[in-house]
Structure 1
Amino acid sequence: MTRPPLTLYLAAPRGFCAGVDRAIRIVEMALEKWGAPVYVRHEIVHNKYVVDGLRDKGAVFVEELAECPDDRPVIFSAHGVPKSVPQAAEKREMIYVDATCPLVSKVHIEAQRHADNGLQMIMIGHAGHPETVGTMGQLPEGDVLLVETPADVATVDVRDPDRLAYVTQTTLSVDDTADVVAALQTRFPAIVGPHKEDICYATTNRQEAVKAMAPKCDAMLVVGAPNSSNSKRLVEVGARAGCGYAQLVQRADDIDWRALDGITSIGITAGASAPEVLINEVIAAFGERYDVTREMVETAVENVEFKVPRVLREPA
């Protein structure tokens, strides 16, 4: 049976970013140094395949520090944690390793610096997301106000409209964040923004690649987890950029082939916590059903690398 022709556009950059790669290496190196089990507070990154793989090697994933024994190392996830978490670990004299992405740590430092200068903080982010919880937890409870949309800006209750600063979650949609920032600047002209955009380079690069790819495609698939903020944003960006059908899939088994019936072109990308093996699995699934012609849509080249914490580079 003749397979129908399909042009497969592959976004670049896609998949793992430097912060995710570093976080996974931290867990692997901790297991090598201290042996199993090593405890990890929250999923190290938002990807089931990655988490299951590390669990098989001896990592134990928990939601709270209280679930960890005192005598085993604990790792804090790439999303960051409130200040109270390492403080509690120190009080219990635990060995802990902070796998917070350095770009998230930059936002934490920024928030503290603004607070030290007497500015009230507003955070642009998604309520309940671990990164938002971690960033807001850098300051005393109630000192950081959360806004998600321009509508939230209209109702936010501040102490002094002339003494404000804002930070953003690193994995948001660049365009959506710009709308919220514009609303903040309109209502609070004196508000202080970050020296450099908080949204991380990897989030921006992946969204730009999707914007370039989407108009060429009948449909687009984003490989990523349903609890991955940056992956969900890629679906939204693709739909807004002109792709008629954009869908999030965790792996090839999740593809809705009926929804793709009749397409002649497909775009494929992946969130920053999705490994290349899952992307290749999706590409192979199309190869089984179509006569595929591949085209790369490259908008940036990434060569960023973050060092792992010194404690892991030292002998046991």
Structure 2
Amino acid sequence: MKLTRRTAISGMIALAGGTILPRLAWANATLTVGSGTLDTLSDGHLVLPRDFVLADIPKADADAVLADFGLADADTLLPDCNLTLWRDGDRVVLFDAGSGPDFMPTAGHVMAAMDALGLAPEDVTDIVFTHGHPDHLWGVLDDFDEPLFANAQHHMGQIEFDYWTDPGLPDTILPERLIFAVGAARRLEVLADTINLFADGAEIIPGVTARATFGHTPGHMSFEVAAGDEMIVVLGDCIANHHIAFARPDWPNGSDQDTATAVATRTALLEQLADADTVFAGFHLPTPGIGRAKRLGETYEFVALA
């Protein structure tokens, strides 16, 4: 595998209160995998209150890990958002659709990264969703509530689709996540008649196989992307950061909807990835989000691909 990194500056960004700041350099990394090309494309970053992720971990314990990453005592976390693009033959496959314009002003900018590659939304042949959270799904529609990727086949796991389209979900989801449910239902209603639904183990596109990584959401999927003798795993959010998720995968993450299942998924997956020295792409790992898991005794370390 050969990794190439690029960046592109894309104008300015306006924040609340009228402050104008230079937009971040939207990063792109290109990795050759067999006969195909895998790119990670920055959609920007999220701005999350510390407690959204770390509320269930004693502050002193969390800070002991976060200190190594310069994040001890941070009130706000700024996780990167990296979409994965796979091109092989006539297929142009985008894993997740990003945040779009309606979630956070610091995210929803993947079109700038695509433009830097000379790609337009109509060039995409397939959109493959890892799960239905806003930063992965909300970018799927245009300003007229029509599919932005007009020529693409959309794919989502059956369990995940059923969860977000359940009419009773708004009555059972945590109040602070009600907007997640409403936003997902609206977008999936548009796609409902044409979306391809699949189960664990399905080869949804030649060379792209779904692997259940439940817990972050009820039907969260990761994907093995293979070409020839080479493979990379697209993780989504089952390993959702580069610090505590690796150093203490057994600790809860507040962004997971089913804590116990997410912990079991994360600990088993890290063991597999480390033992096999598998290269993976993580949505919220530091841009460009590609690397390996290195075992450190009973724990792990994220090692970015050089």
With normalisation by structure 2, the TM-score equals: 0.31
Structure with more helix by fraction: 1
With normalisation by structure 1, the TM-score equals: 0.30
Greater RCO, CA 8 A, separation 6+: 1
| Structure with greater Cα Rg | 1
